[in-house]
Structure 1
Amino acid sequence: MQTKHFELGNGLEAKPASRSDAPSLIELVRRNIKPIGRYLPPLAEVITMDRAQAHFDLVERQIAEGSLIDWHLYQDGILCGGIRLNHIEANNRKAAVGYFIDVRYQGRGLVSRALAQLLNHAFEDLRFNRVELRCHASNIPSQHVAARAGFVLEGRLREACYSDNGFDDLFIFGLLASEHVSRDPKF
């Protein structure tokens, strides 16, 4: 699957993740080590160039296998986060979505705008039938993102995630193609 570049309005872009992003990604992770470590422990390891190269090796392998499409988010040319379709099951026409955002850019609707475009792409271009969003029960902002995007809470997995704070429950949200309302990501 070809990763497209999306202009999302007001200086926000979703660009295919690239090894050339490594220095900026390392800086972003170091600046946000606590929240990233809590919710995305593997990403929190991307704090050196060696670990960044290993991260991109894995990303490239997953893209080649067809199980991942990965974008980095840029606001006015500055790397501020990422969003991806992962756990892609082409035969079942489903995937999961994951994202992160620099704390300096939280609360601006950037993830919601990027997610709107990603969902349009997943349902309209890639013809997926289902997209899942999983988040820690303690991650209230992600729950709000899911609700704004139209996801339905489908379940709670007890103590399914381990992080620096111990075990946390995991919420599973789902959105079906039949429920998706195409949204303008430039809102």
Structure 2
Amino acid sequence: MKLIEWTMEEQEQLIHFMTTNTWPYHGNSHPAREIIEKTIGEGGYESDEVKTFWVENETSEKVGIVKIYDLQDEIPLFDLRIADEARGRGYGPKALKLVTEYVFQLPEAKIRLEGHTRQDNFAMRKTFERAGFVKEAQLRQAWFSPKEHSYYDAVTYGMTRDDFLGGTATPVDWDDDFHRVLKKDGDLSFEEEFYTDRLIIRAPKLEDAEAAWEAIIQSHYALKEWMPWAQKKQTLEETTTSLRQAMADFVTRKDLRLHLFLKETGEFVGSSGLHRINWDVRKFEIGYWIDSKFEGKGLMTEACARITEFAFEELQANRVEIRCDSENVRSRSVAERLGYTLEGTLRYDSLTADGKRLSDTCIYAKVTQ
């Protein structure tokens, strides 16, 4: 990997990068073009105080961007962002190591480099630690999230010049809830792509939008019977907006949508995933829909079997549920073929997808042995 200095001639590329990716742990998760243009015009990406670099992988693909600022001070700061589709590939720690080398090789002999993130941003926190940074502070309710209108703790990580030159990481003699959570519940990092005999199952990417939209449109009448969100035909823009939210939720581990593709042809098959997650209990609910042209081939049963295995083996699930309308015979048959136990039927528990009448909900479940 390498850092390539950004230039003003690449203004459009920067705007495209910042506005087409999602930034769930930043104050503005979907920055508008006007904001980026204004920041560029004010020297927010290039000045005596600021330098910006593209993060390029081994094939010269731009997978991220990093802004190093307060360069006139002895203690610079940085903002590292990895593109949606490049996350989970280990680029973050590698890029941060390159940033660290750049800063400490400057002729001004900087004392330290530091960065800040939200307390529950486990992915970024692990990036710091894998790059040799040490956690040095936790500021209670110092990070405001406008979208959620809530305050979170902020954490600070630092690398000193002495540690960099000595290849060491001198720890601060204290601990926090982050490490206790990991000891109690296990790491919240995991592989974001796995396989069955016929399928690729992976986290959603922005590039999936058109294929997912086409499948939704082609399967509209089949989906409309059971899915509240399919009562009217979606536009491509609506599907893309939903996909962006799913990607953000995947990063924050609030919801784990998974897309299914045929191994042989790469065709989009449908969507599944683990929803209504309770990390304290380690409880998940599998949901699914399939492109009508792939119905009757056992693909969704195959996918859900693998996702069930993933939940128990990788996420240490204690309970996995499948809930569906009692009249949805196809959905019920998936649960039954996989050996889920019908624990009960909630009578008049919800409305039908069209909202016109009451319906019963079947609850199938598997629990850890």
1:146 equivalent in structure 2: 335
- The root-mean-square deviation of aligned C-alpha atoms, in Å, is 1.8
Change (3 A) 1:3 1:88: farther
2:283 equivalent in structure 1: 94
1:31 equivalent in structure 2: 218
**Aligned mate of 1:129, from 318, 323, 326:** 318
Q: Partner amino acid for 2:352?
A: Y
Would the aligned equivalents of 1:38 and 1:165 in 2 still touch at CA under 8 Å? no
**Aligned mate of 1:164, from 335, 350, 354:** 354
1:3 to partner: Cα distance: 5.1
Q: Any gaps of 5 or more consecutive residues in structure 1?
A: 179-187
1:165 to partner: Cα distance: 7.3
1:99 to partner: Cα distance: 0.6
Change (3 A) 1:162 1:81: same
**Aligned mate of 1:14, from 197, 201, 206:** 201
Q: Write the distance in 1 (CA, Å) between the matches of 2:292 and 2:214.
A: 13
1:40 equivalent in structure 2: 227
**So what's the TM-score if we normalise by structure 2?**
0.45
Q: Write the distance in 2 (CA, Å) between the matches of 1:146 and 1:119.
A: 11
1:61 to partner: Cα distance: 3.6
Q: Write the distance in 1 (CA, Å) between the matches of 2:284 and 2:190.
A: 15
Give the secondary-structure state (helix, strand or coil) at the position aligned to 1:163.
Answer: coil
Would the aligned equivalents of 2:324 and 2:361 in 1 still touch at CA under 8 Å? yes
Matched length: 177
Q: Write the distance in 2 (CA, Å) between the matches of 1:20 and 1:44.
A: 24
Would the aligned equivalents of 1:132 and 1:173 in 2 still touch at CA under 8 Å? yes
Q: Write the distance in 2 (CA, Å) between the matches of 1:36 and 1:143.
A: 15
Give the secondary-structure state (helix, strand or coil) at the position aligned to 2:296.
Answer: coil
1:173 equivalent in structure 2: 364
Q: Partner amino acid for 2:236?
A: M
Q: Write the distance in 2 (CA, Å) between the matches of 1:71 and 1:43.
A: 18
Q: Write the distance in 1 (CA, Å) between the matches of 2:200 and 2:230.
A: 21
Q: Write the distance in 2 (CA, Å) between the matches of 1:3 and 1:87.
A: 20
Would the aligned equivalents of 1:45 and 1:51 in 2 still touch at CA under 8 Å? no
1:65 to partner: Cα distance: 3.6
1:183 equivalent in structure 2: none
1:4 equivalent in structure 2: 192
Q: Write the distance in 2 (CA, Å) between the matches of 1:104 and 1:147.
A: 22
Would the aligned equivalents of 1:27 and 1:47 in 2 still touch at CA under 8 Å? no
1:13 to partner: Cα distance: 1.4
Please list the CA deviations of residues 67-109 of structure 1 after superposition, one character each: whole Å capped at 9, or x if unmatched.
2112111122110111100111110111100011112111111
Would the aligned equivalents of 2:201 and 2:259 in 1 still touch at CA under 8 Å? yes
Give the secondary-structure state (helix, strand or coil) at the position aligned to 1:134.
Answer: strand
1:158 to partner: Cα distance: 2.4
1:69 equivalent in structure 2: 256
Q: Write the distance in 2 (CA, Å) between the matches of 1:45 and 1:121.
A: 33
Q: Write the distance in 2 (CA, Å) between the matches of 1:22 and 1:46.
A: 15
Would the aligned equivalents of 1:86 and 1:98 in 2 still touch at CA under 8 Å? yes
Q: Write the distance in 2 (CA, Å) between the matches of 1:163 and 1:41.
A: 4
Structure with greater strand percent: 1
Q: Any gaps of 5 or more consecutive residues in structure 2?
A: 1-188
Q: Write the distance in 1 (CA, Å) between the matches of 2:242 and 2:190.
A: 20
Please list the CA deviations of residues 24-83 of structure 1 after superposition, one character each: whole Å capped at 9, or x if unmatched.
111101111112122222256572122012202321342244221121111221101111
Moved more, 35-44 or 64-73: 35-44
**So what's the TM-score if we normalise by structure 1?**
0.86
Percent of aligned pairs with the same amino acid: 27
**Higher relative contact order, chain-length normalized (CA < 8 Å, sep 6+):** 1
Give the secondary-structure state (helix, strand or coil) at the position aligned to 2:316.
Answer: coil
Would the aligned equivalents of 1:3 and 1:69 in 2 still touch at CA under 8 Å? no
